[in-house]
Amino acid sequence: MTVGELAGEYGKAGIGAAKMHEAVEVTGGMFADEDCTVFLSLAGAMVPTGMRRIVSDLIRDGYVDALVTTGANLTHDAIEAIGGKHHHGAEHAEGKTTREHDETLRDEEVDRIYNVYLPQEHFARFESHLRETVFPPLAEEGTVSIERFVRELGRANAEVNERDGVEEDPGVAAAAYESDVPVYCPAVQDSVLGLQAWMYSQTADFSLDALADMTPLTDLAYEADTAGCLLVGGGVPKNFTLQTMLVTPGAYDYGVQLTTDPESTGGLSGATLDEARSWGKLEKDASNATVVGDATITLPLLVAAARERVETDA
C-alpha cells in the first residue's frame, strides 16, 4: 500500500494511529487550500537528524509560505550545503560508561547529538563560509534583519553547493532563498550561527535587528485569506509562529503539531492547540490535530501522506 493508504488505515485504529490519521486529514486540507498561507515551525534537531530534504522540498514545491526555525537547524543546514556531513553514531560504547564514551568523542573532536555524530572540522569550515561568503555583503548594509541575514545565508549556501558540486541538496535556507520564502529565526543568538554573527560584529560594521522581522511577519499573517500552521516541535519557533495571530484580526484556520512533550507540565512545547484556541491563536472552528511522538518518525509519514492526497486529487 502507499503511505497515503496506510494513513487511511490508521483512521480505523485507535490511540496514536487515529491521531496521525487526523493530522494527515488536516494537513492535506491545509496544503490543498490555495488561499491558505502556511507557516512551518521547525524546532529541535530536525536538520541534523535527516529531516532536511523533507523541509526543502516542501518549500520548493510551494507548500510553505514562511518558515520559523532555530539557529541550530540553520547551522546544520549550511554545514551540509557546503559539503559537511552528519554520520550515524552510537550513544553508548561497549565497555565504557556514557561519560567515558563522550570523553573519548571529545578527544576525537566529534560532537554528538544522541545517535548522530558531527566532526568539529565541519564547524571550522562553516565559520570560514560565514566570514568569507555570508558576512561581507551584509557588512556593507550595516544593521540588517535576521530574515535578511538568513536570506544571504541561503544565497551563499546555494552558490557554494553548486560551485563545489556538493552531493547533498543545497538545503532549507537555499530553497527558501530561491523560492522567495522568508525564514524567521527569533532566537538566532542561541546557536553557532548567532555566536559567529556576534563575533563578526565585534570587528565589523554589522549587526542584527531582532525586531525588524516583526512587521513583515505580522503583515503576512494579517493579509492571509486563510492561515495554517504546521508546528514541528515546540520552543521559541512554535510560540513565535502562534503569537503572530495575537496582533491580527484573524487566527489560524488549520493547525497541526508534532511534539514529544506532555501537556501536563504546563509548558508551551506540549500545550495543545485547543489551549491555543483559548488565546485566540486558532479560530474557534479551526481544524487542528496533535500527534505526540518522535518527529523523525511522524514528520515523514505526515508529509508523504498529505502530499499524496493533494497531488493525487490535483
pLDDT of res. 268? 86
Q: What angle do CA 309, 313, 314 make, to 5 degrees?
A: 115
Over residues 283-305, mean pLDDT = 96
The grid coordinates of residue 194 equal 548567532
More confident residue, 193 or 314: 193
pLDDT of res. 266? 87
pLDDT of res. 58? 98
284 three-state secondary structure: strand
Mean of all residue pLDDT scores within the chain: 96
Question: Which are the contacts of 81, defined by CB distance < 8 A and separation ≥ 6?
Answer: 157, 158, 160, 161, 166, 168, 169, 170, 171, 173, 174
78-111: pLDDT as tens digits: 999 999 999 999 888 889 999 999 999 999 999 9
The set of catalytic residues is 281
pLDDT of res. 313? 83
208-223: pLDDT as tens digits: 999 999 999 999 999 9
Residue 18 has pLDDT above 90, yes or no: yes
Over residues 243-266, mean pLDDT = 93
User: What percentage of residues in the chain have a pLDDT greater than 90?
Assistant: 93
pLDDT of res. 314? 66
Q: What angle do CA 54, 295, 43 make, to 5 degrees?
A: 80
Over residues 281-298, mean pLDDT = 96
Phi, psi of 199 (to 5 degrees): -60, -40
Within a 10 A sphere around the Cβ of 45, how many other Cβ atoms?
A: 19
Count of alpha carbons within 13 angstroms of residue 308, beta-carbon side: 16
Distance CA 190, CA 38 (A): 25
163-180: pLDDT as tens digits: 999 999 999 999 999 999
pLDDT of res. 81? 98
pLDDT of res. 51? 97
* Amino acid present at 299: L
pLDDT of res. 180? 98
Confidence band (pLDDT; 50, 70, 90) for 151?
very high
Cβ–Cβ < 8 Å for 281, 249: no
